[in-house]
Amino acid sequence: MNTAPYLAISNRLRSTPFTHRVQQQGATAFTVYNHMLLPTEFESVESDYWHLCEHVQVWDVGAERQVEIAGPDAEKLVQWMTPRDLSQVDKGRCVYAPLADEHGLLINDPVALKLADNHWWLSIADSDVLLWAKGLASAAALDVKVREPEVWPLAVQGPKAEELMVRVFGNNIKDIRFFRFRPMPFNGCEFNVARSGWSKQGGFEIYVDNAQVGVELYDVLIDAGADLQVRAGCPNLIERMESSLLSFGNDMTSQHTLLECGLDAFFNLEHQVESLSGDALRKQYSAGLDRKLFGLVFIASDGAMPISTDPFNGYVSGRAGEILGRLGSQVWSPRYKHQLATVMLEKKYFVENSGEQTVELQLADGGFVNATILPLPFNFSEAGIEAAWVSS
């Protein structure tokens, strides 16, 4: 019998306070993220996608763990870890702050929340930032406490997210600006609520730090949004690729530098901040890159999935079998009617800042396709790709 393998769940592979709700409400697939369960699919990735773009979803993103850095040297440690200048960041702000090591290699790409002077949360992607931060603090004898508090973010995403949040938390929700947060009362607790989230459909993230009240909140959100067609959901591969939201571990890894991943905007070249990676990144910036993350768009028959001819290494090959680069993510976009992919392209296959470039790809089924190489974030209209605005 050929049944799909399943994931054996133990304590080591942690649940969130919402996992049982998410299972009741129809999650059909999970991934493991920070040693924790993260749902990836409910009805189907495509129908979850259209629902997210039209209504509102509640996401169990408890796997986005918080690494808390607190104490007199907290500011110093956080600034060491990221080359983004944090000196002007006020309390109550979120900043996307990619972390890199002394070679400029990516460690993680968290959202950093400044709770107070010398008190930060790094809301991390999938890698052990806790150990990295503890190691740095210990080796440099910094006066900080580094820990992973019990906080499970809950995201409310979609065009009707604000309406739902107002019903649950009141009109003050409207005053929270993009990438800001403030404590909001709920059933005797106060949860930090930010206007943020891993989609471009708009919405909020609630940093739940009480499991029991968190589940009460979860149920209230689902009940209060019945007429808004609220559903349990999760980060959606189609939506995040169309929106060019990169995934650490998929599109970019610890084998790539921050510049190779195209995160230049979060590295201030001139400003001398005390970061571990600053010197290496400045050096690489002037030397030029050997590879760089690009988007690929192409049209191919159903057989186009996957485009990697080397499933172990995830390489994408050209007509003669030459390795073009490492495949990141790939998905069919039902809105743009194209395959979208990211690839860490080797230098000889692209020219920086030039016009339209194409590359011939080998498909896993033996066929070939011409793909257009696009800079990230994707700009579909500039590439002459029109959106179909209605669901199929």
Question: What's the rounded Cα separation, in Å, for the pair 136 and 89?
Answer: 22
Q: Map residue 13 onto helix, strand or coil.
A: coil
Judged by CB, which is closer to ligand THG: 19, or 123?
123
Size of the site for ligand THG (CB under 6 A): 15
32 binds ligand THG per the rule CB under 6 A:
no
Report the residue from 21, 71, 93, 96 that binds ligand THG according to the rule CB under 6 A. Answer: 96
Q: Which of 120, 152, 186, 198 binds ligand THG (CB under 6 A)?
A: 198
Among 64, 75, 85, 251, binds ligand THG (CB under 6 A): 64
Rg (the chain; Cα; Å): 21
Q: How far is the CB of 255 from ligand THG (least distance, A)?
A: 18
Q: How far is residue 122's CA from residue 72's CA, in Å, rounded to a whole number?
A: 17
- Taking CB under 6 A as the criterion, the residue among 46, 68, 75, 205 binding ligand THG is 205
Confirm or reject binding of residue 123 to ligand THG (CB under 6 A): yes
Length of the chain: 392
Residues in region 133-172 near ligand THG by CB under 6 A: 153
Q: Which two tokens stand for residue 285?
A: 């910036």
- What does the per-residue mask of binding to ligand THG show for 314-343, with x meaning CB under 6 A? ------------------------------
By the rule CB under 6 A, 245 interacts with ligand THG: yes
Candidate residues 56, 124, 129, 304; the one interacting with ligand THG per rule CB under 6 A: 124
C-alpha torsion 73→77→78→80, nearest 10? 140
Segment near ligand THG (CB under 6 A); pick from 16-24, 162-170, 197-205, 300-308: 197-205
Does 125 participate in binding ligand THG (rule CB under 6 A)?
Answer: yes
- The nearer residue to ligand THG, 201 or 309, going by C-beta atoms, is 201
DSSP secondary structure of 203-224 = EEEEEE--HHHHHHHHHHHHHH
CA distances, 312 to each of 20, 161, 243, 260, 368 (Å): 33, 40, 27, 22, 20
Residue 126 C-beta: closest distance to ligand THG, Å:
8
Q: Which of 17, 104, 110, 325 binds ligand THG (CB under 6 A)?
A: 110
Residue number, 195 or 335, with CB nearest to ligand THG: 195
Contact status: 254 vs ligand THG (CB under 6 A): no
Task: List phi, psi (to 5°) of 28.
Answer: -110, -10
CA distances from 169 to 156, 186, 204, 372 (A): 12, 7, 12, 46
Binding to ligand THG by residue 251, rule CB under 6 A? no
Give the residue from 250, 264, 261, 291 showing the smallest Cα distance to 83: 264
CA distance 360 to 254: 27
Token representation of residue 257: 């530098």
Which one of 41, 46, 48, 109 is in contact with ligand THG (CB under 6 A)?
Answer: 109
Which region, judged by CB under 6 A, interacts with ligand THG, from 17-25, 105-113, 165-173, 182-190? 105-113
Give the other-Cβ count within 10 Å of 348's Cβ: 10
The C-alpha torsion from 47 through 55 and 232 to 125, rounded to 10°, is 90
Q: Which stretches of the chain bind ligand THG, using CB under 6 A?
A: 64, 95-96, 109-111, 123-125, 153, 196-198, 205, 245
